Amino acid sequence: MTNSNTSPAQAVRLRARDGSLISPTAGLANGFVQVNLVILPEAQANGFLRFCQANPKPCPLIAVSEPGQRGCDILADDLDIARDVPSYCVYRDGQLSETLPDVSGLWRDDLVTFALGCSFSFEHALVQNGVAVRHIDEGRNVPMFKTSIPLQTAGGFAGRMVVSMRPFRAAQAIRAIQITTRYPQAHGAPVHLGDPALIGISDLAHPDYGDAVSVHTDEIPVFWACGVTPQQVLMDAGVPFAITHNPGYMLVTDIPESHVALL
């Protein structure tokens, strides 16, 4: 399905489309923005759009499709939203119903797709700037935690923020704040650092999602808004029908990471 004119990002999408890519997308097509997907019927989509606008740190909107469209030029010329992600989650009445490699059979004319920025973009920037990221070094998924941080209620959606955690020594934490500030479309600057209890996290060794990582005594845990937040919010709202990417199995876009950096 690929040839010499295929970009690395398009090659990933085509392998997802033909079913030959069944792994998470971390590390694939480096340099291109990967996004979280939320796909909702228009009846819920208009409210969800207001929710995203009101909560840009957990829900940084990169693109919103027209109802029923499986393409989205902002993300990629040749996109098929229903097939170009290696694994999808389908929710019914607020419960995870199934995971599927292709949702073209479930497609409806009223489905609206939201592409939300992902921390992969700023993690690449951290590493390129010499700031080591613990879960990458330890070969694990980033640790994620439910918090007490309230979200802005909007469009019929509400809840608490889910955050990801990365530990750093102080000087690297300061540098990480500077670097991630440049990426508002990838969750931007952290929302908290230091004492986890202040945001309702009781134990860093037991994340709600992902894997625990080492935190050394001279390190400060730093917390970023996480793209798992909207999935949690959709489940809490008991939406009748929703499709998302399966966490870790992202949509790889044709947008260069440099294009979403401020400065």
> Which stretch, 18-26, 100-108, 157-165, 172-180, contacts a second copy (CB under 8 A)?
172-180
H-run or E-run covering 45: helix 42-54
From candidates 26, 74, 154, 174, binder to a second copy by CB under 8 A: 174
Residue 28's nearest CA partner among 16, 40, 38 is 16
What are the CA-CA distances from residue 92 to residues 97, 105, 240 (Å)? 6, 15, 5
Q: Is 7 in the site for a second copy (CB under 8 A)?
A: no
Residue pointed to by tokens 């489309």: 17
Strand partners, 164: 144, 224
CB 193, min distance to a second copy, A: 5
Query: What binding mask, one character per residue, do residues 194-233 give for a second copy by CB under 8 A, x or -?
Result: xx--x-------------------x-x-------------
Kindly indicate which of the ranges 80-88, 95-103, 106-114, 189-197 contains the residues binding a second copy, using the contact rule CB under 8 A: 189-197
Least distance to a second copy from the beta carbon of 242, Å? Answer: 31
Q: What would the two tokens of residue 107 be?
A: 């497609």
What SS3 class is residue 49? helix
Return the number of other C-beta atoms located less than 10 Å from residue 98's C-beta: 11
Please tell me whether residue 83 binds a second copy under the rule CB under 8 A: no
181 binds a second copy (CB under 8 A): yes
Amino acid letter, residue 140: R
Rounded Cα distance between 226 and 120, Å, is: 11
Sheet strands side by side (includes 220-225): 144-150, 160-168, 220-225, 192-193
Residue 189 interacting with a second copy (CB under 8 A): yes
Q: Which of 5, 77, 202, 263 lies at the binding interface for a second copy (CB under 8 A)?
A: 263
The piece of 13-21, 35-43, 124-132, 188-196 that touches a second copy (CB under 8 A) is: 188-196
Q: State which of residues 22, 43, 132, 170 lies at the interface with a second copy (CB under 8 A).
A: 170
| Candidate residues 173, 201, 237, 243; the one interacting with a second copy per rule CB under 8 A | 173
Which region among 64-72, 121-129, 139-147, 190-198 touches a second copy (by CB under 8 A)?
Answer: 190-198
Q: Which of 177, 204, 235, 261 binds a second copy (CB under 8 A)?
A: 177
Q: Give the closest residue to 90 by CA, choosing from 78, 82, 101, 98.
A: 98
CA distances from residue 96 to 56, 93, 123, 217, 259 in whole angstroms, order as listed: 25, 8, 28, 38, 34
CB of 140 to a second copy, least distance (A): 24
Quote the least distance from Cβ 171 to a second copy, whole Å. Answer: 7
Interacting residues with a second copy between 15 and 44 (CB under 8 A): none
Tokens of 250: 């992202």
Residues engaged in binding a second copy (CB under 8 A): 170-171, 173-174, 177-178, 181, 189-195, 198, 218, 220, 263
